[in-house]
Amino acid sequence: MTLKGEELPPLNREELPPNLLEPGACFVTLTKAGQLRGCVGSIEAVQPLIQDVRDRAVGAAF
């Protein structure tokens, strides 16, 4: 977990499956007690999927 403005820890790419390192796009929705708390996504695969998921999760949280 990180606070807005803090740098995220680096990803250990050696421990990840190859498909997560390929370009991918995603959409992240955060809910709490069934209520929408945040959502954000991407439609173009411009970075590794693992990076896109992490970036979108942080974006949805803040």
pLDDT band per the 50, 70, 90 thresholds, residue 4:
low
Chain center to CA of 37? 15
Q: Is residue 29 part of a domain?
A: yes
Contacts of 57 (CB under 8 A, 6+ apart): 28, 30
Q: pLDDT exceeding 70 applies to what percent of the chain?
A: 94
What would the mean pLDDT of 48-55 be, rounded to a whole number?
Answer: 95
pTM: 0.81
Asked if residues 23 and 46 have their Cβ atoms less than 8 Å apart, the reply is yes
Q: Is residue 51 part of a domain?
A: yes
Q: What was the pLDDT predicted at 15?
A: 92
CA distances from 40 to 34, 35, 45, 48, 52 (A): 17, 15, 15, 17, 11
Q: Is residue 43 part of a domain?
A: yes
Q: What was the pLDDT predicted at 2?
A: 63
Using the predicted structure, report yes or no on whether residue 24 has a pLDDT greater than 60: yes
Q: How far apart are CA 19 and CA 2, in angstroms?
A: 25
Q: Is residue 14 part of a domain?
A: no
Domain extent, residue 56, equals 22-61
